[in-house]
Amino acid sequence: MEPFHSTTQERRRLSPEIRREQIIDAAAVVLLDQGSLPLPPESLGRAAGVSKALIYAYFPTQYELLNTLLKREFDALVAAGISRAVRLAPLREAAIATARIYFDRVAETGPIAHLILREHYMIGHVDLENRRARNRIVLPLARAARRELLLKAKENIAAINLVITIPEEAGRLAHVGEMSRDAARALCARLVDSSLGALAPARR
């Protein structure tokens, strides 16, 4: 018979790195389940299997925890090649390649970045590293869109933000099983392409 080990003993053997990742994973689970911020410390503790005190020991504020989770999302997008995708030409190629990478991440993990960035709770609390990471994705697309679509500055930003919602929503549908991943991915590319086509200046 295998020796009995208590939950407390098992927790003590976990390295700080593993415990930290458990808390970040729990934040993602609770965020997706709740769909809004802030996250209840009790729910975080239950999801991570740790005490609220331990969560605060690793992340003194929820803003720090959410910024860490957001950074993980951006790091995954960069690892998947999004930094290269946004610089492709023409805009259509860049937008579709970027949308597919973003779709794949959302389909895998849920719309985590979207929920953090769009929540009123995080206004003024997204850290500089994450703001720069977002700008490295959005700004090249916005510049290309302004060159090719000839939109005014505010219209251009609005158009980019609206197009970004396509892979977010398509990825969410795939993540929750409301559409097959292949069908949602194909639909995402078609909608991005048609949206850019509708915004393109009329040829004379």
DSSP codes of every residue in 31-85: HHHH-SSSPPHHHHHHHHTS-HHHHHHH-SSHHHHHHHHHHHHHHHHHHTTHHHH
Q: How confident is the model at residue 12, as a pLDDT?
A: 59
What domains does the chain contain, in order, with CATH numbers? 7-60 (1.10.10.60), 64-199 (1.10.357)
Residue 52's CB is within 10 A of a number of other CB atoms, namely 14
Mean predicted lDDT score pLDDT of the chain: 92
- Chain centroid offset of residue 113 CA: 3
Q: What percent of the chain has pLDDT over 70?
A: 93
User: How does residue 14 score in pLDDT terms, banded at 50, 70 and 90?
Assistant: confident
pLDDT beyond 90 at 141: yes
C-alpha 188/C-alpha 99 separation (Å) is 7
How far is 162 from 172, CA to CA, in rounded Å?
A: 16
Residue 203 confidence (pLDDT) above 60: no
Lowest mean pLDDT among 6-20, 82-96, 111-125, 158-172: 6-20
Q: What mean pLDDT comes out for the span 63-80?
A: 98
Q: How many Cα atoms within 13 Å fall on the side-chain side of residue 13?
A: 6
Residue 87 DSSP code = T
